[in-house]
Chain A
Amino acid sequence: MDQWTDRLSEYLDDELEARERTDLEAHLASCDACRATLDELRAVVSRAQDLTERAPDADLWPAIAARLDGGTRRYSFSMPQLVAAGIALMILSGGAVWMANRQAAVQAPTQAGVQQPVESPRAVPVNLADAPYDEAVADLERALEAGRSRLDPTTVKVLESSLAAIDQAIEQSQRALTADPANTYLYSHLAAARQRKLALLRRASALADTEG
């Protein structure tokens, strides 16, 4: 992820200043990842035009996973792939809700056919369910639990306190997103916190394995 990733939705909404728009377009010319994300966002916009106001389908993961790795077991995903997929999933699911609502607000005509003023996106529940992530976390937590007795008790305490700190950050980000579902910073912040939790769990379970 780079500095432009969380500005792509603003780009699509034509909310960037002229200079920023020019800079972003220059960046897009050389950044495959941003181009791909932009294409996905465009696809969401396109689909959103056909959506009624409802939560999007939750399970977008299989398609993403299949594209990433041919549907092999989740442990075969690299960390960047998990993170990229997680971000894509959150952008797609959360973004779809947001855009569907924007679209509904923009297009909802009165019975007389007169457009109402555009409303700001309402706070709606955002679907943050991410079963593959939760399963990966659960697997790593089981592995850590199995190796717990091999770790120094002080180290275990430190790891638990650090995981609790990350969990708190995840919970606060999720709560903020529920109240502010159009905030792209919160999506990337939440994705980073989830990535951090996975990374720490992997490190901790590897450590338990090494010390055995």
Chain B
Amino acid sequence: MKLASIVAGMLLSAAVPAAAQTARPPATDQTIAVTKGQRLEVNNFAGEVMVKAWNRDELRVTAEHDSRTKVGVRTSGGEIRVSSSRSGAPASVDYVISVPAWLPVRVSGGPHIFASIEGTQSDVSVETVSGDIRLKGGAGIVSLKSIEGEIFVENAGGRLTLNTVNEGIMIRGATGEITAETINGDIRMLGMKATGLEATTVNGDIIYEGTVADNFYRISTHNGDITLAVPENVSANVSARSYQGSVRTSFATTETTEGRRGSRQRFTLGGGGAQIEMESFGGDVRIRRIGEVSLEPRRKEKHEHDK
């Protein structure tokens, strides 16, 4: 879902005066000192929340909103809470928040949040319904949840849990243990160094391109293809199965076993360290070398993602 339609819907439903809709000057600009051990909680009903890391131990909140909305920055114990209040309909606020990279960040509260977190190196949690979520950086425990929005993750590390329902998930250059789940959408993972993986969708393709560690990797889809692209010198025990499609590998395998049920191959690559399991009910499973085929999104898709 695109931001414009959400914002338009929000403005209409909030019945904000026309003057307030057209002119939204920065209405809040507040900076406070923060110390290690604190965390940021941003509560917003609708609008964009952009969090950027900077190299100061300070937190700066700038926000655009109509004149009836008040934004508060409150510290209570270890929590710094940024939220808004408005008489009448809920507020739609666009935030730009600068934080030290070490500050854990949580964004939640309303159904129409578009969140973008960039450059942090701590825990990140975002929950929304109709907005997209973008994360660049992030480490520790990362949890991103949407229903109608896409999830984009770049160069994050730690334990990543990414969950949407009706859109895709795109991950680039991530490390750590990753769980990615959607129902109607593709899961694309490029330039990865995951140390463990659980990726599932119902209607969609799954691509994993990158290295694997001595851990468990599970990829499954009901109605879609699976492509695994790994280095030539990979060490893995691979189990690949398709109930209605085919299983093909570009690697010269040391052993291949055709299962008695459906199309299934089990084989060992290199010394066999990672345990990789791939299953598609209705699609094909392909195991390739990195670089063998381009796995980049097609130009139009990329353009869509970049919007």
A interface, CB within 8 angstroms of B: 2-3, 15, 17, 152, 154-155, 158-159, 161-162, 165-166, 169, 172-173, 176, 180, 182-186, 189, 192-193, 196, 200, 203, 207, 211
Contacts and interface: CB of A to CB of B under 8 A. Distances in A.
A203 B145 CA distance: 11
B57 interface: no
B14 interface: no
B54 interface: no
B24 to A, nearest CB: 23
Contacts of A203: 147
Closest 9 CB pairs of A and B: A169-B222, A162-B183, A158-B166, A183-B261, A165-B203, A162-B165, A165-B202, A158-B148, A169-B202
Contacts of B257: 17
B202 A193 contact: yes
Contacts of A184: 261
Nearest to B163: A203
B239 A3 contact: yes
Given A3-B216, A154-B1, A200-B165, A211 B281 contact: no
Interface residues of B, number: 30
A159 B183 CA distance: 10
B166 A162 contact: yes
Contact of B275 (A3, A17, A158, A207): A3
Contacts of A158: 147-148, 165-166
Given A162-B184, A185-B262, 9 more contacts: A3-B216, A3-B218, A3-B275, A158-B166, A172-B281, A193-B202, A196-B200, A200-B183, A203-B147
B191 interface: no
Contacts of B147: 155, 158-159, 203, 207
A155 B130 contact: yes
B121 interface: no
Contacts of A15: 260
B58 interface: no
Nearest to A4: B275
28 contacts: A17-B257, A152-B111, A154-B1, A154-B130, A155-B148, A159-B165, A161-B184, A162-B165, A162-B166, A162-B202, A165-B202, A169-B202, A172-B222, A172-B281, A172-B282, A183-B243, A183-B261, A183-B262, A185-B243, A185-B261, A189-B279, A192-B200, A193-B222, A196-B202, A200-B183, A203-B147, A207-B129, A207-B147
B220 interface: yes
Contacts, number: 81
Contacts of B183: 162, 165-166, 196, 200
Interface of B: 1, 111, 129-130, 147-148, 165-166, 183-184, 200, 202-203, 216, 218, 220, 222-223, 239, 241, 243, 257, 260-262, 275, 277, 279, 281-282
B265 to A, nearest CB: 13
A2 B216 contact: yes
A154 B166 CA distance: 11
Contacts of A161: 166, 184
B184 to A, nearest CB: 6
Contacts of A166: 183, 202
Contacts of A200: 165, 183
Nearest to B165: A162
A183 B263 CA distance: 12
Contacts of B165: 158-159, 162, 200
Nearest to B222: A169
A186 B1 CA distance: 34
Contacts of B203: 165
A18 to B, nearest CB: 12
Nearest to A189: B281
B281 A173 contact: yes
A207 B129 CA distance: 9
